[in-house]
Amino acid sequence: MELVHVRNVRFLYKAILKLHRGLPKELQIIGNGYVRDEFKRHKSCTPHETELFMSEWTKYAVSLAEQLKLKGVNMKQFGAQLDEDRIEQMRDDQLYQLYELMVAAKGENAIEHQ
């Protein structure tokens, strides 16, 4: 059972990195770093957290694959809006991480926003 889980995690991780190859170079760099950090950070999470983690990253991979299939897509339109309910459910550290990701994606200096 444990071996199957490890194989599934590796498959998802590699699939996401392959999908990132379709992004503009600057988004690839940000995305790959973020994915690497998130997968490392969640190596020892609880079974419930693992289930949520895998579910959310699978949704991300499917969404990104669908967006990359669209021809003539405006590269500034990657991603999806987060609804208020989802934001309200986030912990402070998750919100800060999301903020840092936004700043990196926009190429801005975080100090300017404090």
Q: What whole-number distance in Å separates Cα of residue 102 and Cα of residue 87?
A: 14
Q: Does residue 113 share a domain with residue 89?
A: yes
In a domain, 76, yes or no: no
Q: What whole-number distance in Å separates Cα of residue 39 and Cα of residue 63?
A: 18
Q: Does residue 65 share a domain with residue 89?
A: no
Range of the domain at 58: 1-71
Q: Does residue 67 share a domain with residue 85?
A: no
Does this model's pTM top 0.85? My answer is no
Give the tens place of pLDDT for each residue, 30-80.
Answer: 899 999 999 998 888 888 889 999 999 999 999 898 888 865 555 556 666
For the chain, what is the domain count?
Answer: 2
Q: Does residue 48 share a domain with residue 15?
A: yes
**Torsion region of 73: left, alpha or beta (phi above 0 gives left; psi -120 to 50 gives alpha):** beta
CA 39 to chain centre: 10
Q: What whole-number distance in Å separates Cα of residue 63 and Cα of residue 78?
A: 9
Q: Does residue 87 share a domain with residue 61?
A: no
- Which token pair is 37? 């950090």
Q: Does residue 11 share a domain with residue 59?
A: yes
Give the tens place of pLDDT for each residue, 82-97.
Answer: 788 888 887 888 888 7
